[in-house]
Amino acid sequence: MATGRSGGRVRLQDVATLAGVSMKTVSNVVHDYEHVSERMRERVQAAIDELGYRPNLTARRLATGRTGMLALAIPEMDQPYFAEIARCVGEEAGRRGYRIIVEQTLNDVEAERAVIRDREEGLVDGVIFHPARIDTLEIARLRPDTPLVLLGEAARPLTTDHVMIDNVRAAREATELLLATGRRRIAFLASVRTEIAESTHLRLLGYQEAMVGADIPLDPTLVIESEGFGIDDGVRALTAALDRGLAPEAVLCRDDLFGLAAMRALSSAGLRVPEDVSVLGWDDTSLARYATPALSSVSPDKRAIATSALDLLEDRMNGYDGIGRHLLAPYTIADRGTVARLVR
């Protein structure tokens, strides 16, 4: 049983002394170094067990210069999309021998600046960062000196590695899917008035491309405007549009939350989903999977995003110092219960 000096921690030297060997030898068995005689190994291991020795990771870090930790900076951990990304990054990082520090920027510009400026100094080997407020220019200017990979649509400086999905193309395909089910009056929920980010813009673009491609004249009233990002904002926006006489056959939503908002507004208006109106969400979060009916949703491959980001990051950590690589992660359209062929 471990009867270590309760209070003071057991050090490598203590083990060495007890085993009657040098620190190097102890270190060798701790690291499973091959060339250690069986007898030696046993003796040292016995001392380790007896003292209950655990290497001090901070000291190891100082000595090696590697921390074995990565930072993942996201706006909010409890937003389903980010929570799911965090899980994937965490799992994949663990597989590669890293641990992650999750940093919430809470949509604060200063917090975001801090992420790439100095928050992680000497603490982590690399940073995966999904910005929400900071833009391309500023990131390029801040030039972080810790390896960095960006996620999402908000910022993509040429100098920095970056992973996202092709939002325009995904939106186009999503719209085409809706068109293929015989729906022509497709609304977009929503263009957010206060939006700084880029994602809605790209998705709207793809939507418009598809409409134009199908020879459907763009009808600006179909692009609904919302006051904010909350579910209530979405419900209000769509309800108002419905009241105004908008009669969409489908609604393409900028995210799953607006997908739920659409379902709520439509059902209040006495419209059935998907019989009367199809609804398509975006991000394929738990929100979509657990809705009733389950919400069809554009589904970025979160595992692939995590893997790609980590690949790029490890590259940088291994010394790659070239121009930024920009990867497009795959996506699918998860077809669940809210998209159906229009029957009259």
Q: Which of 17, 41, 43, 90 binds its own copies (CB under 8 A)?
A: 90
Displacement of CA 319 from its chain's centroid (Å): 24
Q: Residue 315 binds which one of its own copies, DNA, none, with CB within 5 to 8 A depending on kind?
A: none
Q: Are 279 and 295 in contact (CB under 8 A)?
A: yes
Residue 35 sits in the site that holds DNA (CB under 7 A) = yes
Residue 30 sits in the site that holds DNA (CB under 7 A) = yes
Residue 319 sits in the site that holds DNA (CB under 7 A) = no
Residues 99-118 that bind its own copies (CB under 8 A): 99-104, 106, 118
Residue 86 sits in the site that holds its own copies (CB under 8 A) = yes
Q: Which region among 21-29, 40-48, 77-85, 154-162 touches its own copies (by CB under 8 A)?
A: 77-85
Q: Are 300 and 165 in contact (CB under 8 A)?
A: yes
Nearest residue to 282 via CA among 328, 332, 322: 332
Helix, strand, coil tally for the chain in percent (to 5): 45, 15, 40
Q: Are 137 and 157 in contact (CB under 8 A)?
A: yes
Residues 305-324 that bind its own copies (CB under 8 A): 317-319
Residue 25 sits in the site that holds DNA (CB under 7 A) = yes
Residue 95 sits in the site that holds DNA (CB under 7 A) = no
Q: Are 254 and 282 in contact (CB under 8 A)?
A: yes
Give the number of other CB atoms < 10 A from CB of residue 6.
Answer: 6
Judged by CB, which is closer to its own copies: 177, or 189?
Answer: 189
| Shortest spacing between CB 268 and its own copies, in angstroms | 9
CA torsion sign, 150 to 156 to 157 to 161? positive
Per-residue binding string, DNA, 160-189, x by CB under 7 A, is: ------------------------------
Give the number of other CB atoms < 10 A from CB of residue 11.
Answer: 16
Q: Which region among 53-61, 82-90, 222-230, 274-282 touches DNA (by CB under 7 A)?
A: 53-61
CA distance 187 to 95: 42
In this structure, what token pair is assigned to residue 83? 């929570």
Q: Which region among 20-28, 202-210, 233-241, 247-255 touches DNA (by CB under 7 A)?
A: 20-28
Q: Which region among 5-13, 126-134, 181-189, 240-248 touches DNA (by CB under 7 A)?
A: 5-13
Residue 228 sits in the site that holds its own copies (CB under 8 A) = no
Q: Residue 332 binds which one of DNA, its own copies, none, with CB within 5 to 8 A depending on kind?
A: none
Residue 99 sits in the site that holds DNA (CB under 7 A) = no
Give the number of other CB atoms < 10 A from CB of residue 311.
Answer: 17
Judged by CB, which is closer to its own copies: 30, or 328?
Answer: 30
Residue 60 sits in the site that holds DNA (CB under 7 A) = yes
In this structure, what token pair is assigned to residue 300? 């970025």
Backbone angles phi, psi at 298, to 5 degrees: -70, 125
Displacement of CA 98 from its chain's centroid (Å): 17
CA distance 17 to 20: 5
Q: Residue 124 binds which one of its own copies, DNA, none, with CB within 5 to 8 A depending on kind?
A: its own copies
- Listed in sequence order, the DSSP H helices in the chain are 12-19, 23-30, 38-51, 57-64, 80-95, 109-117, 136-142, 167-180, 199-213, 231-243, 256-268, 286-290, 302-317
Residue 147 sits in the site that holds its own copies (CB under 8 A) = yes
Residue with tokens 């067990």: 49
Residues at the interface with DNA (CB under 7 A): 4-5, 8-9, 11-13, 20-25, 27-28, 30-31, 34-37, 39-40, 53, 55-56, 59-60, 62-65
Residues near its own copies (CB under 8 A) are 1-9, 54-59, 61-62, 64-67, 69, 76-78, 80, 83-84, 86-87, 90-91, 94, 99-104, 106, 118, 120-126, 145-147, 231, 257, 260, 263-264, 267, 286-287, 289-292, 317-319
